[in-house]
Amino acid sequence: MGFSTPSPCLCFVESPKYSFHPQGSMFRPARMKKIKLLLPIEQEDRFLREIGRLGILQLKTVEKRSQEFNPDANISVEKSNLLNLVKRCDTILSRLPKEGIIVQLIGKSDRIKLPEEEEDEIYNNARKILDDAEDKLNKWEKLKALKLSSRKQLSLRISSLLKENLLVLRSIRRTDYLVILEGWVKTGNADKLIETIPEPVKSECLISLEESRISEREFLKIRLATLGQNYPILEEALSKHGVASFLGGEGESLKTEEIEDIDINLVRRQATLLKKVLLKRLEVLKAKEDIVRTGSSAYLEGWVKEKDLEKLVSTLKKNFTYELSVEEPEEREEPPVALENPPIIRSFETITLMFGTPGYRQIDPTPFLSLTYAIFFGLMFADVFDGILLLAFSILLYRGLGSRSLEGKRLSEILITISVSSIIFGFLTGEFMGDAVKIPVLWFNGFEDPMYFLQIAILLGVIQLTAGLAIGFVNELLLKKFRNAFGEKLAWLMLLHGSIIILLYYSYFLNGDFYLYFGSAIAVSGLILLTIVNPRNLMEVTRLVSNVVSYARIVAINISHAGISRAFALLASPLIYCGNPIAGLLAGGTILLVTHFFIVFIESFIAFAHSLRLHFVEFFSKFFEPTGNVFKPLSLAW
């Protein structure tokens, strides 16, 4: 690829494997293409903006750099200035009163999408916005120290003073010839105040009455100006009816209009919005650090999903002069990983990424996890009523926290999914408020038939462990590590299922010596393979047993949940079935409702945590090697 001045719309495709058609799937990360782009330096900023709005390109550091190309030294200075502005935003937000936990969880956030012109205006006025916000915050903190930081507090203070006084003075200003009084008077006492002023003085007074933003109905704001020589007469006349001074510390006039003008929530919104604008600009600067330049050209390298390559080329053809090279990743190269799953299970990528990012050439476990996680949680937390309560909370969380961040949205979507699973398994097992409400058992009841439940749990465990080892086997084949594929993953599968066949034979589930010999042959073959590859694998045999037994926790947590629910149901029963049906239902129903709120809070957290453990420790340990890096394209979308 040449480094001369780029020709219009010239596209090079160096890899014969190049295709516009995505070949990834739900079980594999999206296929990535490496691009190399040369364009005029004056088009660099516009390119980053347009590609940032699309959110399809992740820039990478140029490794093999031509001597004529150099990074821009001014970027680090601009980046440092931006970071300082972001710190000022953080400082302002940290000084503001914290939102309550309920508001943070379920309070809906306003989503703002700014046009590019308004975003530029905010950015250009960043220092002025911060200075104004800091000034208002300083005034608010001083007023807060006087317990006058809200209109309500100020209104109560003025009202209390006006009960015994005709006038409350806020300030007295003097000039060479005039005295100007400002304050408040009760709405019904305005005429009385005017009548109180002596006639000689009244003719030389200017009086202004207007509605107060502090309390429009209760009192009025008054401004009264008179000649300095008349002030002693006016002061004496007013004092007979009561005049209270509303002054700040050390006799200074209290600027109560500041309370009227300061909207602390507006300060919060402005600081938050400015921070978002600054962070977007910071992302652009970080991207520019990966671009190298000559006097007339800018050169960059990056990663784009194969399915988004057409969008990139289309954008370049419409608006830019460029040279483009598209390549397949090299065999030893590790491209960034973009998990691609259907919307119904996409939220479970959060749980996958909590453990780590799968390698680019590995299988994505999210589709398997989304199914088994919902099943395990549903079995542990099987109760129709508790599931409905959790679902209601999850929907509120989706409306509140989900509107504030992508992570909050995905967490609430996971909670909605597992809440529905709890309701389904509640119907299947006949659980409703700990048997307080009788519903038919459609499958089995774990509290009444724990041994059958244990068999189901162990079976689910074996299925998940088999899936984990099978995925590990395929991953090793994809990475061309055949020794690990056959000598470990396949060997553990043989040992696991051979042992299960032997166990079923001795438990009289399988009849005939064939099963004993067949199971023994498979198990022994697996042990031999494990020993050949690594003799220390024999020490891990007991771990495989503990992995299987670990799934018994599904039964234990379900029985614990059902037992606690039944205990509270027994506590409420005497009240529900007392002589007075209305009072009994109210008292017993209140107890059940309050206790089940407690149960949902505690037991759902326990079920969630143990579902995580079964996947992280038992399932992922069989195949998951978090060697990948998350695909983080430049994104300037709101």
Strands 243-245 and 167-174: parallel
Whether 496 has a pLDDT exceeding 50, the answer reads yes
pLDDT tens across 98-111, in order?
776 666 666 666 66
| Better-predicted residue by pLDDT, 3 or 533 | 533
Q: What pLDDT, on a 0 to 100 scale, did the predictor assign at position 213?
A: 66
pLDDT band at 419 (very low <50, low <70, confident <90, very high): very high
Rounded Cα–Cα distance for residues 520 and 514 (Å): 10
Q: Residue 355's domain spans which residues?
A: 343-622
Q: What pLDDT, on a 0 to 100 scale, did the predictor assign at position 200?
A: 84
DSSP state of 254: P
Q: What pLDDT, on a 0 to 100 scale, did the predictor assign at position 105?
A: 66
Q: What pLDDT, on a 0 to 100 scale, did the predictor assign at position 423?
A: 97
The answer to whether 29 and 630 have CB atoms below 8 angstroms apart is no
pLDDT band at 147 (very low <50, low <70, confident <90, very high): low
Same-domain status, 499 and 602: yes
pTM of the predicted protein model:
0.79
pLDDT band at 20 (very low <50, low <70, confident <90, very high): very low
Q: What pLDDT, on a 0 to 100 scale, did the predictor assign at position 311?
A: 94
Q: Three-class SS of residue 383?
A: coil
User: Is residue 636 one of the residues assigned to a domain?
Assistant: no
Q: What pLDDT, on a 0 to 100 scale, did the predictor assign at position 117?
A: 86
The amino acid present at 150, given as its one-letter code, is: S
Rounded Cα–Cα distance for residues 284 and 278 (Å): 10
pLDDT tens across 160-181, in order?
888 888 898 888 888 888 999 9
Q: What are the distances in angstroms from CA 601 to CA 351, 362, 418, 446?
A: 20, 37, 14, 21
User: Is residue 91 one of the residues assigned to a domain?
Assistant: yes
Same-domain status, 224 and 323: no
Q: What is the CATH number of the domain that holds 309?
A: 3.30.70
Same-domain status, 611 and 555: yes
| Better-predicted residue by pLDDT, 455 or 259 | 455
Same-domain status, 605 and 533: yes
pLDDT tens across 428-458, in order?
999 999 888 889 999 999 999 999 999 999 9
Q: What is the largest CA-CA distance in the chain?
A: 124
DSSP state of 547: H
Q: What is the per-residue DSSP string for 154-190?
A: HHHHHHHHHTT-SEEEEEEEE-SSEEEEEEEEEGGGH
Among residues of the chain, what percentage have pLDDT more than 90? Answer: 55
Query: 181 forms bridges with which residues in the sheet?
Result: 172, 224
Q: Which of 233, 124, 222 is nearest to 170 (CA)?
A: 222
Q: Three-class SS of residue 118?
A: helix
User: Is residue 335 one of the residues assigned to a domain?
Assistant: no
pLDDT tens across 265-323, in order?
889 889 999 999 999 999 999 999 889 888 789 999 999 999 999 999 999 998 899 99
User: Is residue 374 one of the residues assigned to a domain?
Assistant: yes
- For 479, phi then psi, to 5°, come to -85, 0
Whether 371 has a pLDDT exceeding 90, the answer reads yes
User: Is residue 519 one of the residues assigned to a domain?
Assistant: yes
Same-domain status, 229 and 304: no
Q: Which of 394, 387, 341 is nearest to 363 (CA)?
A: 341
User: Is residue 484 one of the residues assigned to a domain?
Assistant: yes
Same-domain status, 232 and 298: no
- For 334, phi then psi, to 5°, come to -115, 95
Q: What pLDDT, on a 0 to 100 scale, did the predictor assign at position 124?
A: 92
pLDDT tens across 201-228, in order?
888 899 998 887 666 567 888 999 999 9
Among residues of the chain, what percentage have pLDDT more than 70? Answer: 87
| Winning range, highest mean pLDDT, from 65-69, 531-535, 581-585 | 531-535
Q: Three-class SS of residue 242?
A: coil
Q: What pLDDT, on a 0 to 100 scale, did the predictor assign at position 256?
A: 54
Q: What pLDDT, on a 0 to 100 scale, did the predictor assign at position 258?
A: 52
Give the pLDDT mean for 539-547.
87
Q: What pLDDT, on a 0 to 100 scale, did the predictor assign at position 16?
A: 40
Number of domains making up the chain: 4
| Better-predicted residue by pLDDT, 141 or 506 | 506
User: Is residue 633 one of the residues assigned to a domain?
Assistant: no
Same-domain status, 223 and 122: no
Residues 6+ apart with CB under 8 A from 428: 382, 441, 442, 443, 444
Length in residues, the chain:
638
Q: What pLDDT, on a 0 to 100 scale, did the predictor assign at position 582?
A: 80
Rounded Cα–Cα distance for residues 557 and 550 (Å): 12
User: CA 538, 540, 542: angle at the middle one, nearest 5?
Assistant: 100
Residues 6+ apart with CB under 8 A from 259: 143, 148, 149, 150, 151, 154, 214
Rounded Cα–Cα distance for residues 453 and 447 (Å): 9
The answer to whether 12 and 323 have CB atoms below 8 angstroms apart is yes
Whether 246 has a pLDDT exceeding 90, the answer reads no
Q: Three-class SS of residue 144?
A: helix
Same-domain status, 566 and 436: yes
pLDDT band at 578 (very low <50, low <70, confident <90, very high): confident
Q: What pLDDT, on a 0 to 100 scale, did the predictor assign at position 546?
A: 92
Q: What pLDDT, on a 0 to 100 scale, did the predictor assign at position 417?
A: 97
pLDDT, averaged across the chain: 86
pLDDT band at 404 (very low <50, low <70, confident <90, very high): confident
The answer to whether 562 and 434 have CB atoms below 8 angstroms apart is yes
Task: Compute the 3-state secondary structure of the chain and give helix, strand, coil in percent, each to the nearest 5.
Answer: 60, 10, 30
In this structure, of 15-29, 360-374, 445-459, the range with the lowest mean pLDDT score is 15-29
Q: Which of 433, 366, 150, 186 is nearest to 265 (CA)?
A: 150
- Residue 546 CB-density burial (10 A; 0-12 exposed, 13-18 middle, 19+ buried): exposed
| Winning range, highest mean pLDDT, from 92-101, 195-204, 517-526 | 517-526
Q: What is the CATH number of the domain that holds 156?
A: 3.30.70.2750
| Winning range, highest mean pLDDT, from 26-30, 134-138, 520-524 | 520-524
Same-domain status, 305 and 266: no
pLDDT band at 252 (very low <50, low <70, confident <90, very high): very low
Same-domain status, 239 and 355: no
Q: What pLDDT, on a 0 to 100 scale, did the predictor assign at position 64?
A: 63
Same-domain status, 176 and 300: no
Same-domain status, 135 and 194: no
User: Is residue 523 one of the residues assigned to a domain?
Assistant: yes
The answer to whether 458 and 551 have CB atoms below 8 angstroms apart is yes
Q: What are the distances in angstroms from CA 465 to CA 56, 83, 420, 468, 509?
A: 36, 47, 25, 5, 21
Whether 14 has a pLDDT exceeding 50, the answer reads no
